[in-house]
Structure 1
Amino acid sequence: MQVQKYVFSELDTGERVISERVPSVRSVALGFWIGAGSRDETDAKAGVSHFIEHLLFKGSQHYTAQQIAEIFDGLGGELNAATSREHTMVYARVPDDHVQTALNVMTDMVFAPAFTDLDSERAVVLEEIAMYEDTPQELVHDLFSEAVFGRHALGRPVIGTAEVISSVTKRVLSTYHRQMYAGGNVVIAAAGNIEHNRLVRMLQRSQSQQRPPAGGPRVRRPLVKAPSPSFRFAKKDTEQYHVCLGAPGISRSDRRRFAASILDAILGGSASSRLFQEIREKRGMAYAVYSFASQYTDTGLVGVYLGTREENLAPCLEIAGKQLLEIAAGRIKPEEVARAKDNL
C-alpha cells in the first residue's frame, strides 16, 4: 500500500496549505475549508453558515455571479460548495493549466463576497428548508442529532430555521463572515498535477487582489458531556416509518476511528454488510437500511437507519438490535474483517 506524500505550509496571512502531487493526472482538485459550521452559530444565527455558502456564488468584489459561472464553464471545470456542522467547503476541479484562474476566482468568492441578491437567495434557502422538511429520510437524521445532543448546537439542523433565514440582515452576515473566514481559520487543499511551492506562489498572486480577514483559528468550546439519551418523533403522512437509532460516537482524532470504520462496514456500510443482507436481501423488509458514523472535533455519532412499512418495523428493529449485540459481544468472523478492510 502506497503512503500518501503530502506537503504542508502556512501563508503569511494565516491559511494552512496542504497538497499532494499526482503527476499521472492532468487536473487539480482544489478546496477551501473554512472552520465555520452550524456548530459555531447561536440560536439567533441558526443557518447563517449555510446561507453564506449560498451567497458566495452570488458575486464578489471582482466577479459577478454570471462571471463566476461563465469562467468555470469556460475552464471545463467544476465548482461547488457544502456546509456541515463544523465546516464550510468551497471546492473545484480544473485542468492543471487553469489553476491560477480558478484560484483567483475562488479567493475572491471566499474572502470578499458582495452579499448581493440577498432576498432572492433567501427565498432559495427557504425553499430548500421546505423541501428538506418534506423529505423524511433526511429529516430523521436531524431529529436523531437533536435526540443525541439536545439543545447543544450539534443538535441543530445545518440548514437552519426559516425564522432566522427570513429575518437575518446583511450586517449580521458580514460580521459573521469577517469573524469566521479569517485566514487562520481556513485550510486550502490541493491534489493533482501541481507542485506545492507553485501552488503557494499562485495563492500569493491571488491574494495580491484579495487578502483574507485577519485572525487566527477559532477554538470551539468542547462538549464536556452528551445529554442523557432521549427520543424524537415527527408525525407525517408517509407510507413508511423512517427510523434512526444510535448514540454518541468518537471524535475524528480518536485512535479508535479506524476500528470504528471497520465495524461500520461490517454492520451496515456496504451491500455485503449484516443489516443489508439480513433485512433487505434475505427478507425484503426494507429498501434502505444502513449504519453510519459522524465524527466531530470532540465527539461524534454512530447509528443505524432504516425505512420500512409499519408491519415490518418491529421485526426490522429486532434484527438490528440482534446484530448490534452480536458485534458488541465480539462475534465477528475473520473474513468479515478482511472484507471490510479491503473495502475501505
Structure 2
Amino acid sequence: MVQNHFLLQKKLILFFIFCPFLVHAETVKLPLFGKGHFVSYTELSPLFPELSSNHEKSTGIVKLQSAQGKLQFRLGASFYVFDEKIIKVSKPALLKNGDLYLSVDIFESILLNLISYDVRYKIKESEVLLDIPREPIAKRNINVKAIVIDAGHGGKDPGTSDASGYFEKDVSLAVAKYVYLYLRKYYPEIRIHLTRKNDTFIELEDRSKQANSLLKDTRDSIFISLHCNASLNEKASGFEVYYLSQTPSTEQARETALIENRYIGPHSQKIISSIQSQMLSSLTQRRSKKLAIAIEEEFGKGVESNISSRGVKKADFSVLRGSLMPAVLIEMGYLTNPEESKLLKDKSFQKRIARSIIKGIRGYAQTKD
C-alpha cells in the first residue's frame, strides 16, 4: 500500500512537470517588424482579451486600457502617457495598412501596467517569446522578509573615482554597511544579507546567486545594488534608480548599464549568457518598478537640498538580470562631480542615504501588489 502510494505521488509529480499546460500556456511567438522595433497590435490583442483599444482618427490618439489602467499616445509621437506620467519611447507607434504597430517600449509597458498576472517574456532580434498563465493573483500588501544589499564593485574592480582617487567601491560599501546596521536595529525580524562585507571582488553572477539562495527560505525578498555614477562632464549631477528592462529608458541609461556590466571575468561568460537567455517576469519587473519608485521618492526627500533626482529609469544590468526577485540599482550621485563627490565621501551624508533607502523599502512594503 505504501509502495503504491509512493508510485502514485511520483506519477503525479512527473505529470505536472511534463504537462506545463496545467500551469501555464504554451510559449507563443510574436514576430517583430521594422528591424525588431515593433509589435503588431492585431497579433498581440488576441493573447490578452482584457485589453481594449480606441483610435481617434481625427487626433491620431490611441488609447489602450484594461481594468488595471489606461495607456495613451499619439501616432508618430515619441512618448506615451500612463498614470498621468509622460514616458519617452525609442520609436513612436505607427499605423500601416490599417494595423497598429507598437514599439517594444510600449509593448513592455502593456505587460507591466495593463496585465494583472505574471507574463514571462523575452525580446529577441526578430521575435518576442511569451509565456502567458491565466491564474489570477490576489492583491495584498507586499511583504519584505529578506533584503540583499549589494555594494557595487570591490577588490580589483574599483569602479569609478573622483579627482582625488576616492573609489566608487568604497562609497558603495560604506552606504551598504549603514543600510545593514539600520535594518538590523529597526527591523530585526527581517533577514539581511550583504553580498560583500569588505574590499573583495565578487563577480556579477555570484552576487545574483547569493541573492537567489534566500528564495529557499522566503519568496518575499528584494535586491538592492549600490553604485556611483561618472561622466566626462564634471557638471553632470544627480541620483537615479534603475530597474531591469530590455528596453533602456534613454541612450544614457544604456551607456550606464554597459559601464556597470563591463567587469565580467572570462570564465563567467557562459553563466552570464545563460542568465540572459531566461525570460523576464512581468510580475517581478512590476514589483521592481514599484520598489524603484518608492526608493527614488524617499531618496529625493532625504538629499533634495544637495543632490537632485534624475528619476526612475530602466536598463539591462547584468546584476539585476540574474536576480529572481524584485531588484533595483541605485546610482547615488556622480563621483566625477566635485560637489557630489564631497557629499558621497561624508559619513553623515552616507547615513542620510541609508535612512532614505530604508524609508523607500518601507513605502514599497506598504503598497498593494
TM-score by length of 2: 0.29
* Structure 1 or 2: more strand by fraction: 2
* Structure 1 or 2: more helix by fraction: 1
TM-score by length of 1: 0.30
